[in-house]
Amino acid sequence: MVEVKEFWRWKEYNWKNPDIQWKDAAVITAGVDVGSVSSQAVVMCDNEIYAFANMRTGSDSPNGALNAMKWALEDTGMTLDDIHCKVGTGYGRVNVPFADRAITEIACHAKGANYMYGPTVRTIMDMGGQDCKAIRCDEKGKVVSFLMNDKCAAGTGRGMESFASLLGVSIEEVGELSLQVEEEPPPVSNTCVVFAKTEATGLLRSGWSTEKVLAAYCSAMAHRVVSLLERIGMEEDFAITGGIAKNVGVVSRLEKELGVKALKPRYDTQIAGAMGAALFAKALVEKGENR
Amino acid sequence: MIANYGYKDGSGDFFISIDTNKCMECEEKPCMEACPAGILEKFADDYNDVVVGVKEEHRKKIKYSCAECKPASGKRNLACQAACKPDAIAHTW
């Protein structure tokens, strides 16, 4: 029997803040971001992150939301009933069975990035599993302008997963490996993931190393999202959220092309949307609109 | 807020931009009636402002949905823009 390696598989995990006693909190809120590829649940106690979970959504969005929430609450003693307000966001936001409200991932990413990176952030590039969002926001994390592209897989996590599988490289090593080239190759010319894979196969056959092909793909991905940022207008400070923000190969090339450095995140970049949803939930509690 | 609805693919950029700060000031929203393809709808956004946006089912095929107003000959007669009193609607193509 041949073992099939899942190069695309990224690490799923949960986390709990040991310094917070949730029973002492005045307001407990939660945000659940149900994406097309991954789901995150974030629990906040008085605006501090208490716990979160990050996992694959799977084929069933309601179940994905429930599983993420259950995993975030694992070993905390907290139940859903202890949470004052729960907001669903992301692609599957209307399928979060326990949510009090659904808010778009665009507003939630802006809010989450404002918390994660601080009030100076003005432009956010969310590179998600199956879409890219360019967002501009004000000092309070309110969206000023946005653009979302979810028609084409180029520049998305799914595209990167596909490439990792093609080249037999763990998705978590793609970024580092792509930087191990003596000279930066030209980006793959095809923006479409399917055609880019065909092009990559041809490059490998012509003698290119895996690292060089990865560099060409990371470069194409960075170039792809730069055009989205140009459309909404780039203003510093700049931050990247989503799974691709963990890929140093894409991030460094994006920074080079834009001529700006991205802010360093304090938390996992994949939880920005769920974090924003939890912050919206807190605002709803304060306004008495949580039920 | 400038809300961009549409997509970018290998064939180009196809976005309808709506300036919601201007749009929310218009109560009648005549652009919805004016659009022959009926792609616009009124809704309360995340900040509870009542604005117009492109219907979900048209966002990934907007190039084709808007084709009636943008014939291949290049003649443009954008009914939505003409009806929009606050000048809140723009097209990228």
Given an 8 Å threshold on Cβ–Cβ distance, is A231 in contact with B7?
no
- Domain contains A4: no
Residues A124 and A221 in one domain: yes
| ipTM topping 0.90 | no
Q: What is the pLDDT of residue A10?
A: 83
Residues of chain A with pLDDT > 90, as a percent, come to 68
Provide the pLDDT for residue A122: 97
Q: What CATH code would you report for B2-91?
A: 3.30.70
pLDDT: which is higher, B24 or A7: B24
Query: Which pLDDT band holds residue B28 (cuts at 50, 70, 90)?
Result: very high
The number of residues in chain A equals 291
Give me the domain span that covers residue A41. Answer: 13-112+271-286
Q: Place A139 in a pLDDT band, splitting at 50, 70 and 90.
A: very high
B71-B74-B77-B82 Cα dihedral, nearest 10 degrees: 130
B8: nearest CB among A146, A192, A227: A227
Q: Do the domain assignments include residue A291?
A: no
At residue A191, the pLDDT reads 65
- Contact residues for A215 (Cβ-Cβ < 8 A; gap 6+): A178, A179, A181, A184, A185, A249
A5 found inside a domain: no
Identify the residue among B5, B7, B8, B18 best suited for mutation to test binding to A, counting A beta carbons within 10 A and taking the highest: B8
pLDDT tens readout for residues A218-249: 998 898 889 889 989 999 999 999 999 999 99
Residue A90 within any structural domain of the chain: yes
Does residue A101 lie in a domain region?
yes
Specify the 3-state DSSP secondary structure of A290: coil
State whether A70 and A164 are in the same domain. no
Name the nearest CA neighbour of A119 among A137, A136, A139: A139
Q: Is A283's Cβ below 8 Å from some Cβ in B?
A: no
pLDDT of residue B35: 96
* pLDDT band, residue A204 (cuts 50/70/90): very high
The torsion defined by the Cα of B81, B82, B83 and B86, in degrees rounded to 10, comes to 70
In this prediction, residue A95 carries a pLDDT of 87
**pLDDT of res. A2:** 65
Tens-place pLDDT, residues B30-54: 999 999 999 999 999 999 999 999 9
Q: Mean pLDDT for chain A?
A: 91
Q: Per-residue confidence at A1, pLDDT binned at 50, 70, 90?
A: low
Judge if A250 and A219 occupy the same domain: yes
Summarised one tens digit per residue, pLDDT across range A29-71 is 999 999 888 999 999 999 999 999 999 988 887 888 999 999 9
Secondary structure letter of residue A224 according to DSSP: H
Per the domain annotation, does A223 fall within a domain?
yes
| Sign, CA torsion A51/A56/A57/A60 | negative
Interchain pair A152, B8: CB under 8 A: yes
For residue A208, pLDDT beyond 80:
yes
Question: Which of B4, B10, B47 lies nearest to residue A147, judging by beta carbons?
Answer: B4
* Residue A124 · residue A113 · CB < 8 Å: yes
* Total count of domains within chain A: 2
Q: Which residues pair with B44 in a beta bridge?
A: B50
Indicate which CATH number applies to the domain containing A277. 3.30.420.40
| Average pLDDT estimate for A110-129 | 95
Q: For residues B61 and A161, give the distance between their C-alpha atoms in angstroms, rounded to a whole number.
A: 26
The string of DSSP letters for A164-192 reads HHHHT--TTTHHHHHT--SSPPPPPS--S
Whether A125 and A76 share a structural domain: no
Q: What is the pLDDT, as a whole number, of residue A151?
A: 76
Q: Is B81 on the interface with A (CB under 8 A)?
A: no
A168 and A213 inside one domain: yes
**What are the structural domain ranges in chain B?**
2-91
A7 within a domain of the structure (yes/no): no
Indicate whether A175 and A256 sit together in one domain: yes
Residue A291 is predicted with a pLDDT of 66
Instruction: Read off the pLDDT band of A164 (50, 70, 90).
Output: confident
| Contact by Cβ (8 Å): A135, A124 | yes
Q: Do A71 and A123 fall within a single domain?
A: no
Q: Which of A138, A149, A234 to mutate to test the interface with B (most CBs of B within 10 A)?
A: A149
Quick one: tokens of A291?
């039920």
Q: A244: which 2 tokens? A: 């691709």
Residues A20 and A62 in one domain: yes
Residues of B in contact with A228 (CB under 8 A): 8
Question: Do A72 and A149 share a domain, yes or no?
Answer: no
Three-state SS at A33: strand
Residue A290 has pLDDT above 80, yes or no: no
**Same domain? A257 vs A185:** yes
Q: What distance in Å separates residue B12's CA from the closest CA in chain A?
A: 11
Looking at the domain assignment, is residue A72 inside a domain?
Answer: yes
Cα(A180)–Cα(A69) distance, integer angstroms: 39
Q: Beta strand pairing status for B50-54 and A13-16?
A: unpaired
Judging by DSSP bridges, how do beta strands A123-127 and A132-137 pair with one another? antiparallel
A278 & A247 share domain: no
Separation in Å, CA of A107 to nearest CA in chain B: 7
